[in-house]
Structure 1
Amino acid sequence: MTTQRRTPRGRIVALLAGTAVATLAACTGVTYADTPLPATPAPTPTPSAPAATPVVCSNATQSYSPLASIPSSGSITDPSVRAILRRGYLVVGASADTYLFGARDPFTGQISGFDIDIAKAVAKSLFGDENKIQLRVITAADRIPVLTGKDATGKEVPRVDMVVRNMSMTCDRWKQIAFSAEYYRSGQKVLVAKGTPNAASVTLSDLKGKRVCAPTGTSSLDKLRTVQGPIPVTAANHTGCLVLFQQGKADAITGDDTVLAGLAAQDPYTVVSKAPAITVEPYGVGLNKDDVYLARYINTLLAEMKADGRWKQIYNRWLAGPLGPAPAPPTPVYGR
């Protein structure tokens, strides 16, 4: 594959600098944390009820039924949500390097994007103030550990209240965590250098013998490993993949089309293939498996946001430029 890649060294430095900006407290009151936060004390355990019959997952987008309406904060009795309200802010795992969804501005230190606005909407609903939120910057591989409170080795790690980090809903992940209803639908595609033969229609199966990067701990990497031909290359995140690509250590990047659109916006020498999406990637807000009430609360809020136009406003703010006007929001599936 012949590529034409002219990438000034300064762009790579700028990208790395952007992710290394020191953590700042926003002038709006939003705070950020790149280092682990103290774990929130768990509510006093109550006698366990008989184990429920395991639910068979036949539809990964199926979540819990919403509440009848958004309750006042003072009327909420659920222990987990009460603990959040007593703390006074929502702790959210988020990306700081997924352009358009969750990325840190290297000049202001602020993290913003589609996912961040979804998280702020939850904070505003709970506290009446969207700035009652603390963002903990995590990688894709961190998403499940910070929700379960344990890493792959069983070591305890500080928990977050929820993860909003372009996280695909899958039946395997439902075994470990819970999800809100689907709030965004994406699809896995391929990013290559401009000048690549058939760049507009290239798919993973066309990249035989080529090094293709996907972040560790992502469903994109799982899919990549099932395709014969490409040589998987990994990085901690998509920005890391872009750096490897610019250094000539990767020939292509695979991931959700929305994420790749953000990378292409940062590097004008790249292009996202317009071939049909390899997969369907429904995004859900990640939650601890026990936080069913919080899932139902968020599902109620998402339904309201889709109905009153707030979801469309958020989409158009971040994604209308690269992806076109807002489509109809995903239809929720309930009944879990």
Structure 2
Amino acid sequence: MLLCGCTQSTSGHVGSPSISYTEPPLPAGVAPAPTDRSTPAPAPGGDCGDPTASLRPVSDAGTPPSPTVDAIRARGRLIVGLDTGSNLMSFRDPATGMIEGFDVDIAREIARDLFGDPERLEYRILTSADRERALQESLVDVVAKTMTITCDRRERVAFSSQYFEARQRVLVVKGSPIRGPAELAGQRVCVVRGTTSLERLQQVAPTAEILTVPMWSDCLVVLQQRQVDAVTSDDTILAGLASQDPYLEIVGDSMGAEPYGIGITKSNEDLVRFVNATLERIRRDGTWTDSYNRWLSMLGPSPVPPAAVYQD
């Protein structure tokens, strides 16, 4: 019986399982940019004079007629398009669950002037590629989402006056041999679809192997997983990514200016003028500077808010 038991134990022995290692999965929605770029991508912006020139502000919703502003007030809330993956600009605070950031502060000030209450907001989460469609289909009242004012975009949507000037730069893991735009040639670079950052990257580094993603937080993931060599975007966005990982750094000179405006449906001129009145107020009363110091001080001392340019 003892022998039989030993034999049974031996025959029932299971060896150690084999272990295999695989590449981490890519985030959903990742796709390579087209590799056939024999015809250079158009430079961001086009030519329409000064694209940041907007409509002169009117703060009194009764003069001249303001159908869009009146309808928003009757609804009781401002519908804002943004995302929750742009740390420092618009993100969900994990401690409070609240959506916060520099762009959110701008939206709150518009709501303050509309209702006397900065909390009268409803958020619609958008990818960068969805911003124009959301405005054209009136799914949102405004887009406050690091939206660069360009001549091309102004053909489809309206913009407020400029409220921030970002600079496109490069984000890498500390110790990377990439020290700026000149080293992006032939490298794997992450960028979000539907952005001026993608257009400029195709101009500056046409031989780069470009991986496009829906959200900037996806670029953080693939950089941390070493599936790309660099990320390029506005310094505001890159600062938000770097703030989440001490092993990342922003390098190199600016690849170009990115003037931000609030996106508005093209036909809603009264809302453009109302938003511009809010932007004039926050430039004057220190609200803009307070918000910069709260969210973006890692970019350096607070600059002077960009001066508005008006076309009328």
Q: Greater relative contact order (Cα 8 A, min sep 6): structure 1 or 2?
A: 2
Q: Note if 1:332 corresponds to 2:312.
A: no
Match of 2:180 in 1: 202
Match of 1:4 in 2: none
Matches within 5 A, 1:98-117: 98-117=86-105
Amino acid at match of 1:193: V
Match of 1:269 in 2: 247
Deviation, structure 1 residue 303 = 1.1
Q: Note if 1:250 corresponds to 2:228.
A: yes
Q: Residue 152 of structure 2: which of 167, 172, 175 is its match?
A: 172
CA–CA separation in structure 2 for the residues paired with 1:250 and 1:135: 31
Amino acid at match of 1:109: G
CA–CA separation in structure 2 for the residues paired with 1:111 and 1:175: 30
Aligned partner of residue 163 in structure 2, secondary structure: strand
Does structure 2 retain, via aligned residues, the 8 Å contact 1:76–1:82? no
Q: Note if 1:211 corresponds to 2:199.
A: no
Deviation, structure 1 residue 141 = 0.8
Does structure 1 retain, via aligned residues, the 8 Å contact 2:148–2:259? yes
Long gaps (5+) in structure 1: 1-11, 17-55, 150-157
Q: Deviations over 1:34-59 (max 9, x none)?
A: xxxxxxxxxxxxxxxxxxxxxx8211
Does structure 2 retain, via aligned residues, the 8 Å contact 1:211–1:233? yes
Match of 1:287 in 2: 264
Q: Note if 1:88 corresponds to 2:72.
A: no
Match of 2:219 in 1: 241
Q: Deviations over 1:2-51 (max 9, x none)?
A: xxxxxxxxxx9xxx9xxxxxxxxxxxxxxxxxxxxxxxxxxxxxxxxxxx
Match of 2:108 in 1: 120
CA–CA separation in structure 2 for the residues paired with 1:117 and 1:301: 12
CA–CA separation in structure 1 for the residues paired with 2:310 and 2:64: 22
CA–CA separation in structure 1 for the residues paired with 2:245 and 2:57: 41
CA–CA separation in structure 2 for the residues paired with 1:111 and 1:304: 23
Aligned partner of residue 225 in structure 1, secondary structure: helix
Aligned residues: 268
Does structure 1 retain, via aligned residues, the 8 Å contact 2:192–2:215? yes
Matches within 5 A, 1:2-13: none
Match of 2:15 in 1: none
CA–CA separation in structure 2 for the residues paired with 1:89 and 1:312: 26
Q: Residue 50 of structure 2: which of 59, 70, 83 is its match?
A: 59
Q: Note if 1:134 corresponds to 2:117.
A: no
CA–CA separation in structure 2 for the residues paired with 1:134 and 1:60: 29
CA–CA separation in structure 2 for the residues paired with 1:77 and 1:228: 49
Q: TM-score, normalised by structure 2?
A: 0.82
Amino acid at match of 1:161: D
CA–CA separation in structure 1 for the residues paired with 2:214 and 2:87: 15
CA–CA separation in structure 2 for the residues paired with 1:282 and 1:83: 29
Aligned partner of residue 181 in structure 1, secondary structure: coil
Q: Deviation above 3 Å: which 4+ runs of structure 1?
A: 73-77
Q: Residue 277 of structure 2: which of 272, 297, 300 is its match?
A: 300
Does structure 1 retain, via aligned residues, the 8 Å contact 2:180–2:253? no
User: Larger Rg: 1 or 2?
Assistant: 2
Question: Structure 1 285/112 Cα, relative in aligned 2: closer, same or farther at 3 Å?
Answer: same
Match of 1:183 in 2: 163
Amino acid at match of 2:56: S
Does structure 1 retain, via aligned residues, the 8 Å contact 2:84–2:91? yes
Amino acid at match of 1:326: S
Amino acid at match of 1:107: A
Match of 1:8 in 2: none
Amino acid at match of 1:323: L
Deviation, structure 1 residue 222 = 1.1
CA–CA separation in structure 2 for the residues paired with 1:175 and 1:79: 22
Deviation, structure 1 residue 95 = 1.5
Deviation, structure 1 residue 324 = 2.1
Q: Deviations over 1:274-299 (max 9, x none)?
A: x2210100000000000111111111
Match of 2:19 in 1: none
Amino acid at match of 2:291: I
Deviation, structure 1 residue 74 = 6.5
Deviation, structure 1 residue 76 = 7.2
